[in-house]
Structure formats: C-alpha cells, structure tokens
Chain A
C-alpha cells in the first residue's frame, strides 16, 4: 500500500502540466481534467483508490489557484474511510476545501469523534489537527469531551497529548463557553510536564489563559518561573530538545512572554531573586555561545529576556547587562538583529523605561534611515520618534530634516508626519514650528499628506503672534514657479486670511499678493483652484483696489468646464455685486479652531500613552457626539442600543447586584463582510471602573457577537462617564468614540418618604445645599410628556414620593447614594411646565457636590429626551 508509487495518474498529470509551454495551455489542460474528474465522480463505479487519486488531483489544481466547485462530498467520503492512506487525503482535502461553516462538516463530525476514540495515535492526530485547524462550533461541541479526555489521561501518548492541548486551545479561543473553566488550572499544571513538547504546546494555551483570567496570574507565574529555572540551569530536558546547543529556545521565549504579563504577581523576595538570577543567566548566554553560527535562537531568547528584565527590575543589577546586550545588537551588522533591536528599544521606551545610554547610538540609528531595506528604514524612524523628548526634540528634528531629501517617497511621507507631530508636541515657540513645517512643504511637498498642512493652518490661525511671520514666509515661498499643491493651498489660504498684515511691506503689496495667487490659478488642480478663488475673494474684501481685477478673474472662471470651479466663481461674482457690508460679513476672519491645536506636552511619565501613530489625536478632546442619543437613553434605561450605524451596532445592558453595577456591551457586525483589527480601548475611565472581560479576537465576522463587560463595585469619588474608542478596519480605518452610560444616578437606591419625614429632611438640608436649575428642551419640536417624564425620573432611580407636593403635576422623589462608604441622602423636586415645555429642577443632598452633579446630569438627560421622533 504505497501511495505515491500507485497514484501514477496524479504524477502523469503533474508532469503534463509542468511540460506545458504556455499559461493558456495550463488552463485548458486543467479544464479537461476537471471535466474528466467530474464525470468520474458521477459514475457509480468509483473505487476508493480512484476517489483518492482524483481528490488528490483536485487538491493540486486548488493549490495552483483554480477554484474547486465540486468534489467536496468525495473528500468527506474519503475522510470516513477505514484505510489510513485514504483517510489522510480525506482530512487534507476537507481542511483545504471546506471552511468551518460548510454544511458538509456535519457529515464528518461522527467520523472525527470515532478517530479521536481510536487507539491508533496516527488517527488521533489526524482528528486533532482537524479540530485545531477548522473546528466550527458544532464540531467543537461534539468532540470536546473526547479531546479533554485525551489531554488529561495519563495513558495517552505524549505526542497525542500535545496535539490535544492545541485542539483544546482552539476551542478555548473561539468558543470559550464550551470549555469547562475548572479545567484551566490542571492545564496550567501541565506546564510542569517532563516532556518539553507537551510543555511547549501547553505554554501557548497558558498564554491565552493569562490574557483572559487575571485571577490565575499567581499560579501561572510560579509555574513559569520554576520551569524557566529548570531549563536555564540545564536540567529537565532530553538532548533531543537542544537546538544548536540551546535547550528548547521556543519554550524559553514563550515562558518569557508569559512572565512579561504576569510577573507582577511576584511579591516575595525569594521568588523575585530566583527570577532575577534566571534572567541574569539568560542574558549571559550571549557570551557562552559567541562562536555559535546559529545565533538566531540565542538572540530570540535575548530579546524577550531583555523585555522581561526591564519589566521586573529596570534599575538593579540587570540593567547594565541589558543595556550592553542591546547596544551590541543595535550596532550588529546582521539586518535581522538590528531590526529587532530597534523594535525592542522602541518598545522599552514606550513602556516608560529611560535609556540614557542610547544616545551613543543615535548616529547609527539616524544613518539607518538610508539603509537599503525598507523594513529597517521604517523601524529606525519609529525608534527615533520614540527617542524624542522635550530636551533633544530640536536637534532631533533638525537631523531628521537633513535626511528628508534623500529618502524614498514612502519613507518621506512617514518621516514628514512624524516630524510634524513632533514639532506640534514639543513646540515651545511657534516660530520654530512654522519654520520646520514650511521646510517640509518646500522640500517634500508631494509627500505631505493633507493632515500636515491642515494642522499647520490650524496652528497659525489659533496663534495671533505668529500670523505675520508665517504669512511673510509663506508669501516668499509662493514666489517660486513650481510649488506643490499642499504648499499652494496652505500658502494661499493664509494669504487670504492674513495678507493684510504684510500689505505695507515692500514687495508684498496687495497687487503682488493678487498676482501671486492668480499665477497659481493656472497651474493648479481643481481642489486647489477652488481654494484659490476663495483666497481671492478674501483679498478683494480687505483691499478694495483689487475689486475689479478679482471680478474679472471670477468672470473668466464662471465659464470653467469644471462644475465645482464654475459654481464657486459664479457665486463669488454675485457676492461682489452685493453691498460691501454683506461681503465683509461673509469674509469675516476665520474664528479660532475649537479643537486645541496643542494642549499639554506629554511628560515622560505618561509617555507610554503616546502611541506611534496616534500622538496628535490623543491630546485632542474626545468627540463622542455620535453616541450621545444612545447614552442619554441608557442613562435611564437598563438595556438598549448605545450606538448604531450602517456597519456596527453596539448594544448595552446594565445590571445591578447589591451595590455593584455591571455593564455589558454587545458588538454586532451589520454588514456581510468581516472587519479586522477590531478593538475597543478605554479613553477615559476612573479608578473604580473595571474591565471584567473582553473579547480577544480582532477579527469581527458578520455572524459573531463580541462582548465586553465592565463593573463598578463601589464608589470612592465622583467621576465622569467612561469613554471607549471602538476601531476596526472595513476597507478603511473606522473609529467611533462611545460614552458609556455609567452615571452617578445609576448608583442611587430609590427610597420613599411620607410627607412629614420628607419635609423634615428637606428643611434640614436647607436651601444652601440645594442645586436648582431651570431649563427648556433641546430641539424645536420637543414636547414635554407627562408619562415619559415619570418614566425617566424612575429610570434615574428616584423613589417617587406621591401626595407630598400640593401641585399634583410636580414630581417629588428621594434616593440614597453610597459614596466612599458613606450614605448620602438625596431629595428631588421637579416642576414641569407643560405649556412652555420648561422644567425647574431642585435637588438637595447632604453633599453639595453630589447635588450639583446629579442636577446637571439630569438636566442634560431631560433636555435631550423629548425629541418628537423618539
């Protein structure tokens, strides 16, 4: 029974294809073969051997990139065969041709179960691979007990156990609800297994466990340190696991990565010292193996050991050793090592470690900007960006600018956006900012993306002190005959706004300004032309002498073939004919941009918050407007939709257990396509607000629902509602900020008082601790509605005290808030005016701040809850 020697037909077919001269012939030959196979499959007398042969041919055709539309059933039949060689091809075909949701998978579930129960380890292996590679929910549910049995039973061969571990990991990753959570601890114990391979397979599993289960960190940490110590000290493995004289490097790397996450559980000094000793030993292997040709694995271990060493102890004895290793790697000639050294260093800086000795390598890193490999160029730029701080920013930017003209366009673009963001973060005088950015526009205008010049304009508009300086320099640059679009756009925009500031200087009078803009008009793209026309309009507003010339230009362009330009020209021409006062209102100077161009300098301590790509936006205020309607509604409701657009929907459920408030978010994909890089990050939070669990998959397919859970156990202080950012790739990067409906009133416990108690307390608190607000509703068509108002007040957890107020339409309520282990009483009186749709709100509380926060929150919610369409 020899597969290859017998499947002559397959060999002939492959040889045939290889002997063809033209690509067209290949397709022809394949179509003939496909037709033949299809006919064979339809005939009733297909032998098992033939089936195997034809399915193998299909697999070969599939690999060449031709779509396979039939033969799936034959693959399934092979899988259920008893002969091992047929079964093997069947498993391979099913894995390659069917995806996990294919209907035919149902047909093989039983067969896979049988193979798992088989005593033949080869059959076990095939079935375990199948589960790990394409196990859908149904398959995983059906075979879970068998796989668990295989992993945990001492009778199983090690080679099967390690495969079982990875199959079980697949189940845990994709369908964790199938897993028995009590099994996690025994699995962590398997890290200790004598067989290093079982250990290696299990280490992958443990890595995912600690990402999901913080409560198990302590156990994992102890086990991992113990195992690492055994390996490093040269015990506990057989010679088969020595890879070029290094004991199982893959396991060492995995253990380091596990410890990087859970090392904080090391509290006692002995364990910590053990870990430091182990790391010390690992960092020394470089010396031991210096002559070894196969340095890859050694370096792999070193990089992860360095990261861990810094996390465990970034000041002690390990520091010098780490820095020495890192320095040697940065200056290493081998491109792989240098690339990873840059990567590791950038990572360490982003974690907030200070690496002062890095300065000695700055020139080398700078020169890597021109290395012949794009991966290294990119990494070196990232690293330089991270190395920048308020002290060295100016020299660093200047040095980067020297390299700018010599780079390829992709690196140029990358460098420009990095320099632009550095100048913005570290600018203490705006002159420098303007100088650098103008240089960017002048030297590499074609690689400047829109964000950069938008930002430049924003900064100039918002800072009166530099306007004259900026417009003077931009005007000079515009004199050149060939300026790139981004320079023309920003230059003319600023000239239109602030040209008058230099109108009295020689050589830049109104007429010269007009001519400069006018010249550019001929050679510019449509988008730019439109901007230039606007600039001309603004010029003529401030300089009445130019009126006629500008009108003539508009007239010429009012017959432009481009509708956009034509429309603009016609409109502006009309504007010029209107009374002068009107024009000056239209051409009012642009107001200061509300998004602050620059907030505070990120200090070294919060440097880790500044990610490589996001440093500009992270300092801006967060825009949550798109989630506000859902937010207001969920403030007084326990479940509903927080946010919905054509692509995603975010549902929310708020639950209360004793004093605990839990929030679950459900993300749903509303399209039929799969989004990638799906993530959700907390942009604003407060100390008591905890993330209980979160999805780990970044792939967001349409049939999937991702879940995130948060909770607040108790309140120690007042807070702002948390904000998360949801981002994903759906062709383009999408980002949505969501304000989470966690507000103070969620923590209120409703109570009810009779008339006399209420007035006694109301009086006791007194008018000096009252927050009173009177307000109307947002939205012109909003109408106050009695029933809805009542619903909202109870939804905000006020206990209604009826029959207290003499005016029956008024609402009176009470609640108790537990803050910092104190009970704070809160009383409410709400006076609606249904004729004028106005509300007067009075809240008294033993704590004045609480009263104020409750009142302002409630005002926001009430104002926005009566839109006519809701």
Chain B
C-alpha cells in the first residue's frame, strides 16, 4: 500500500502532504525534510527508486520530478515500482487537464482541489482509479465551476514536462 504522498518544490516547500498511515504530527515535517534531502540530491542519471526505513520499517520511495516540483510516493512491498511511477504520471496529467496547463502556483492556491483530485486516484493508500477520463470527469463534477481566467499562469507549467518520460 501507499503510506504517504508528498509534493514539494526544489526548495523543499511542501505543496501537498497526505498520509495513509497514522504518523505523529511532529514526525510528519521531519519525514518531509528527510525525504526532500535524499531525493533532491539525486542526479538525473539516477533511478527513481530509493530504499528507506522512514515509515513503518522497510519501504521504498518512488519519485518523479516535473519542472520545479517533486512528486514523491512512499510505498510498501506490495506495490509495483513502475506502476507507481506511471500513477504519478496519471496524477500529473489529471492535474494538467483539470487546470489547463497546471503550474506550481495552481498547487499553492488550490490545494483543496488537488486533494480532491488525488482522492479520485488513491483511496486509503490503494490505487483507486487509473482511467484519466474518469478521474477528470469526477474531479470536475465535484469542483466548483470556476472560470479559468489563466491569471495564475505564471511560471513553468508542468504539462510541458509531463511528456518528458
């Protein structure tokens, strides 16, 4: 199962934290810091997997970088590494479709909606839905019909990076 999901930028500022296993509040930030440390030091030639013992004994950190943002999943033995790697891709593509060219600022100002979209993909630490159309459709049905003015479109969009892999 998935123990935790983090999104943070290349300076270590958290953009989303979600735990599927109870973790003391005081430990949550420490975990985030340690994961940021180990992930941000890795080069582009490294693989996207790390073994760690940060949560619940032995587990693996699976991460992907898009523009300025790191998407990090901490999972147990039961998950396929490459499966999770592509789940991150699905997540980013879903964000991209919901926000028309998503960028870091969307994640900052609309964190509630990011949580809602994530809830369509992962529930209780397990993969719920992988069909992009379904995810986008049900996320949008829950979302208020906000007009995308494009006013937030400053900075690099993740979408242009979503096709990198």
Q: Would you call A336 and B45 a contact (CB within 8 A)?
A: no
Across-interface contacts of B16 in A (CB, < 8 A): 63
Residue A5 is within 8 A (CB to CB) of chain B in the complex: yes
Check A296 against B165 for contact (C-beta < 8 Å).
Answer: yes
**Cβ of B131: which chain A residues have Cβ within 8 Å of it?**
196-197, 240-241
* Chain B residues, Cβ within 8 Å of A108: none
Instruction: Determine if B57 and A677 form an interchain contact, defined as CB atoms under 8 angstroms apart.
Output: yes
Any chain B CB within 8 A of the CB of A299?
A: yes
* Partner-contacting stretch, out of A33-41, A125-133, A590-598, A852-860: A125-133
Q: Residue A167 at the B interface, CB < 8 A?
A: yes
Interface-central residue, B57, B124, B128, B144, by most chain A CB under 10 Å: B124
**Residues from chain B with Cβ under 8 Å of A729 in the complex:** 53, 57
Establish whether residues A3 and B146, one from each chain, have CB atoms under 8 Å apart when the complex forms.
yes
Query: B49 to chain A: which residues have CB within 8 Å?
Result: 336, 339-340, 375
Query: How many angstroms from the CA of A662 to the CA of B25 in the assembled complex?
Result: 42
Contact B47 A204 (CB under 8 A): no
> Measured between C-beta atoms, what is the minimum distance from A409 to chain B in Å?
16
The reply on B29 being an interface residue by CB < 8 A is yes
**In the complex with contacts A200-B130, A241-B131, A297-B83, A88-B116 CB distance below 8 A:** yes
- Taking CB atoms, residues of chain B closer than 8 Å to A842 are none
Q: Is the interface of B mostly helix, strand, loop or mixed?
A: mixed
- Decide: A4 and B144 in contact? CB cutoff 8 A: yes
Q: How far is the CA of A532 from the CA of B34 in the complex (A)?
A: 41
A162/B45 contact (C-beta < 8 A), A14-B108, A63-B16, A677-B56 known: no
Q: Which residues of A contact B127 (CB under 8 A)?
A: 200, 204, 250
Which residues of chain B are near A204, meaning CB under 8 Å? 126-127
Q: A63-B17, A200-B130 are in contact. Are A300 and B82 (CB under 8 A)?
A: yes
Query: CA of A84 to CA of B21 in the docked complex: distance in angstroms?
Result: 27
Partner of A92, one of B112, B132, B146, B165: B112
Binary B-proximity of A42-79 (CB < 8 A = 1, otherwise 0):
00000000000000100110011101000000000000
Contacts A59-B112, A92-B112, A373-B42 given: A296-B85 contact, CB under 8 Å? yes
Nearest CB in chain A to that of B26: its residue: A67
Residues of B within 8 A of A1 (CB): 144
Q: B-facing mask of A290-315, CB < 8 A → 1, else 0?
A: 00001011011001100000000000
Which chain B positions have C-beta within 8 A of A296? 82, 85-86, 89, 165
Report B47-69 residues with CB < 8 Å from chain A CB: 47-51, 53, 55-58
Expressed in whole angstroms, the Cα–Cα distance for A327 and B138 within the complex equals 43
Contact check: which of A11, A297, A373, A376 meets B82 at CB < 8 Å?
A297
- Is A418 located at the chain interface by the 8 A CB criterion? no
Determine whether the beta carbon of B81 is less than 8 Å from that of A250. no
Is A163 an interface position by the 8 A CB rule? yes
Interface centre among A4, A60, A167, A729 (most CB of B within 10 A): A4
Q: Are B144 and A128 in contact (CB under 8 A)?
A: no
Chain B, 119-139, contact with A by CB distance < 8 Å: what is the 0/1 string? 100011111111111100010
Contact A243 B46 (CB under 8 A): no
B112: A residues at CB distance < 8 A: 3, 56, 59, 88-89, 92
- Interfacial chain B residues near A417, Cβ < 8 Å: none
In the complex, whether B150 has a CB less than 8 A from a CB of chain A is no
A304 surroundings in chain B (CB, below 8 A): 80
CB closest residue in chain A, given B46: A373
B87: nearest residue on chain A (CB-CB)?
A: A250
With most chain B CB atoms within 10 A of its CB, the pick from A84, A129, A299, A303 is A129
Asked whether, in the complex, the Cβ of A67 is within 8 Å of the Cβ of B25, the reply is: yes
Query: Is A248 part of the binding interface, using a Cβ–Cβ cutoff of 8 Å?
Result: yes
Q: Is A708 an interface residue (CB 8 A)?
A: no
B45 touches A335 (CB 8 A): yes
What is the chain A residue whose CB lies nearest that of B85? A296
Could you say which residues of chain B place their CB within 8 Å of the CB of A128? 123
- Which residue of A has the minimal Cβ distance to B62? A336
Digit string of A191-205 for contact with B (CB within 8 Å is 1, else 0)?
A: 000001100110010
- Check B78 against A133 for contact (C-beta < 8 Å): no
Do the beta carbons of B126 and A201 come within 8 Å of each other?
yes
Contact A132 B123 (CB under 8 A): yes
Complex: how many Å from CA A257 to CA B43? 32
Within 8 Å by CB of A375, from B29, B47, B119, lies B47
A188 contacts B by Cβ under 8 Å? no
B161 at the interface (CB under 8 A from A): no
A522 at the interface (CB under 8 A from B): no
The reply on A249 being an interface residue by CB < 8 A is yes
Closest chain B CB from A74 CB (angstroms): 15
Residues of A within 8 A of B138 (CB): 125, 159
Contact (Cβ within 8 A) A122 B142 = yes
Q: Which of A56, A63, A100, A162 is packed against the most chain B CB atoms within 10 Å?
A: A63
Tell whether A378 pairs with B51 under 8 Å between CB atoms, given A159-B134, A677-B57.
Answer: yes
Q: Closest B-chain residue to A162, C-beta based?
A: B128
CB-based contact A132/B124 at 8 Å: yes
In angstroms, Cα B49 to Cα A2, docked, is 40
- Please state if A373 and B47 are interface contacts (CB–CB under 8 Å): yes
Contacts of B86 in A (CB 8 A): 243, 249, 294, 296-297, 300
Q: Which residues of A contact B129 (CB under 8 A)?
A: 159, 162, 197, 200
Q: Among A339, A373, A378, which residue has its beta carbon within 8 angstroms of that of B45?
A: A373
Q: For B123, give its contact among A129, A294, A297, A698 (CB under 8 Å).
A: A129
User: Which residues 1-20 of A have a CB within 8 angstroms of B?
Assistant: 1-5, 11, 14, 18
Quick one: which of B13, B21, B58, B144 contacts A677, CB cutoff 8 A?
B58
Contacts of A575 in B (CB 8 A): none
Q: Which residue of A lies closest to B60 (CB)?
A: A375
Q: How far is the CA of A296 from the CA of B17 in the complex (A)?
A: 25
Cβ 8 A contact of B146, one of A5, A170, A197, A701: A5
Q: Taking A88-B116, A170-B124 as contacts, is the C-beta distance between A59 and B47 under 8 angstroms?
A: no
A contact residues around B15 at 8 Å (CB): 63
* A129-B126 Cα distance, complex, nearest whole Å: 11
Q: Within the complex, what minimum Cβ distance (angstroms) separates B61 from chain A?
A: 10
State A85–B108 Cα separation when bound (angstroms): 19
A336–B145 contact, CB under 8 A? no
Question: Given that A1-B144, A300-B80 are known contacts, is A339 also in contact with B123, CB under 8 Å in the complex?
Answer: no
Q: Would B22 and A253 count as touching, CB distance under 8 A?
A: no
Tell me whether A303 and B47 are in contact in the complex, defined as CB-CB below 8 angstroms, given that A250-B130, A676-B56 are known contacts: no
A339's contact among B42, B47, B109, by CB below 8 Å, is which?
Answer: B47
Per-residue interface assignment for chain B, residues 26 to 37, with 1 indicating a CB less than 8 Å from any chain A CB and 0 otherwise: 101100100000
Q: Is the CB of A340 within 8 A of B81?
A: yes
Task: State which residues 361-382 of A face B: CB under 8 Å.
Answer: 372-376, 378
Docked-complex contact A699 and B124, CB < 8 angstroms = no
Residue from A64, A303, A340 within 8 A of B14 (CB atoms): A64
A299-B82 CB under 8 A given contacts A132-B123, A166-B128, A699-B21: yes
Who on chain B is nearest to A97 by CB? B25
Q: Is A207 an interface residue (CB 8 A)?
A: yes
Known A133-B20, A375-B51; contact A65-B124, beta-carbon cutoff 8 A: no
> CB of A338 within 8 A of chain B?
yes
Q: Smallest CB–CB gap between B106 and chain A, Å?
A: 10
- Chain B: which residue is nearest A244 at the CB level? B86
What's the nearest-Cβ distance from chain A to residue B149, in Å? 9
* Contact call A11/B80, Cβ cutoff below 8 A: no
Does A163 lie within 8 Å of B83, measured CB to CB? Answer: no
Contact with B along A73-104 (1 / 0, CB 8 A): 00000000000110011001000000110000
- Residues of chain A within 8 A (CB-CB) of B42 are 373
Report yes or no: A88 in contact with B123, Cβ–Cβ below 8 A: no
A-B contacts, 14 listed (Cβ < 8 Å): A4-B109, A5-B147, A64-B14, A92-B112, A92-B116, A122-B142, A197-B130, A200-B127, A240-B134, A250-B80, A250-B130, A375-B50, A676-B56, A729-B57
Those 10 A-B pairs whose CB atoms lie nearest each other, nearest first:
A132-B124, A677-B57, A300-B82, A335-B47, A373-B46, A65-B29, A339-B47, A676-B57, A2-B144, A204-B126
Q: A336-B48, A375-B51 are in contact. List 16 more A-B contacts (CB 8 A).
A: A3-B144, A4-B110, A63-B111, A129-B119, A132-B124, A163-B123, A197-B130, A197-B134, A204-B126, A240-B131, A243-B130, A257-B80, A335-B45, A335-B46, A373-B45, A375-B46
